Amino acid sequence: MFYLPDEVFVNGERFKTYISKETLDKRIAEIGQEINRDFVDKRPILIGILNGSFIFLADLMRHISIPCEVDFIKLSSYGDEKVSSGKVTERKELDANVEGRHIILVEDIVDTGLSLSYMVKKMKEKHPLSVTIITLLHKFEATKYDIDIDYVGFPIKNEFVLGYGLDYAQEGRNLAQIYVLDPEN
Ligand code: 5GP
């Protein structure tokens, strides 16, 4: 049984349901179909940006029916706070050789765009054939860095969310849908 309360307290703050599991499932299946169509015969390598993207990536991959590979890289920009620290720290390197490959970067959420712009620059230095960006959530009003996002699950307001892989001070990743901080706390 999935962990799906209507509301939840994480680190003493109240969060309410924002994007339901049903809505997530439907949209992720659609993105999977688009990848199947757009990457046929390209054997893409999906690169998950840890930790937040691990659940989204796992679900997305199960909708991909063309040959593909996976690897992970770990970045950190939030620490344990609800606002970005403004600097990216790399905590795990890529293992795969991506030269001449079609890379699909899989991100949980784009906020300022700092992490992704850092990642795209780093990936391009490795001479791939292409770099495509997928994010489940996009805080479009908060994005300051110039990045072209190819597939967006859901554009969202500039609010703090958690669940479905996203944490608040390392808690809440196991929630099976997306929650938002309740202003009426
Ligand atoms: P950016 O570099 O785009 O400013 O921030 C991207 C990273 O910040 C995401 O990968 C995620 O780890 C974290 N982040 C941004 N917004 C949120 C949010 O609303 N909730 C959570 N849990 N993490 C966020």
As a whole number of Å, the CA-based R_g of the chain is 16
Report the atom number in ligand 1 closest to the C-alpha of 111. 3
pLDDT in tens, 5-20: 999 999 999 999 999 9
Residues belonging to the active site:
111
Q: For residue 168, which amino acid is it?
A: Y
Q: Any residues with CB less than 8 A from the CB of 13 and at least 6 apart, and which?
A: 168, 181, 182, 185
What confidence tier does 50 reach under pLDDT thresholds 50, 70, 90? very high
Residue 108 and residue 47: Cα distance in Å, rounded? 12
The structure tokens listed for 68 are 């593909």
pLDDT at 166 over 60: yes
User: If you measure from the C-alpha of residue 78 to the centroid of ligand 1, how many angstroms do you get, rounded to a whole number?
Assistant: 7
Domains, the chain: 7-181 (3.40.50.2020)
State which of 166, 173, 180, 181 you would mutate to test the pocket of ligand 1, scoring each by most atoms of that ligand within 8 A of its C-beta. 166
Ligand 1 pocket, residue 160 CB under 6 Å: yes
| Mean pLDDT calculated for residue range 34-43 | 98
- pTM of the entire predicted model: 0.94
Residue type, 101: R
Q: Indicate the top mutation candidate among 11, 109, 157 to test ligand 1's pocket, ranked by most ligand atoms within 8 A of CB.
A: 109
Tell how far CA 179 is from the center of its chain: 15
Alpha-carbon span 51 to 29, nearest angstrom = 22
Which atom of ligand 1 lies closest to the CA of 84? 4
